[in-house]
Amino acid sequence: MFYSSHCSSVIKWSSIVKFLFFVVLFLSPSDAVLGDSDESALLRLKASFSDPASVLSTWTSAAGTDSGYCSWSGVLCNANSRVVAVNVTGNGGNRRNGTSHPCKGFSQFPLYRFGVRRTCEGSKGSLFGNVSSFNFISVLTELRVLSLPFNALEGEFGGFEFGW
């Protein structure tokens, strides 16, 4: 009799523990955690640039918002608030005061690995930096497009893989 009472007590506690485990597992904000990873990677991307023209001025962390980064300039997210594209065009492509684009023959420059064009002579981009240190960008597992044309960027991507 003692055995059956003890056994049913163990079963009850085991069931309660399992139930609580599944509640925590399924109600945890996993999307928010993933989103924080995307936001962190974008903020690291911003920090890796010199941005004297404040092109990335909208890229600021907003406390209390899970996917505020999806509204940042040049950032496109999917329905799950995951970053799928980053497109930041520099002012090296502007034609002000009738001047021609210093890289008007940019199509002659080869593409390197992830679609980064070699900087052409005379380019005056809005963002300055070296893409060789972009290994953290692999955190953006849904990223399909990284477009940074007409910026003064140097280096090559390498040493990391994308999940395509």
Domain 31-154 part of CATH 3.55.50: no
Give me the pLDDT at residue 75, please.
94
**Mean per-residue pLDDT for 1-16?**
58
- DSSP secondary structure letters along 113-127: TTTEEPPPTT---S-
24-53 per-position pLDDT tens digit: 555 544 444 444 589 999 999 999 989 998
Residue with the larger pLDDT of the pair 17 and 7: 17
**Cβ atoms of 91 and 53 closer than 8 Å:** yes
| Nearest alpha-carbon partner for 137 in 44, 36, 61 | 44
State what percent of residues in the chain have pLDDT above 70. 49
Radius of gyration of the chain from its Cα atoms, rounded to whole angstroms: 24
CA atoms within 13 A on the CB side of 40: 10
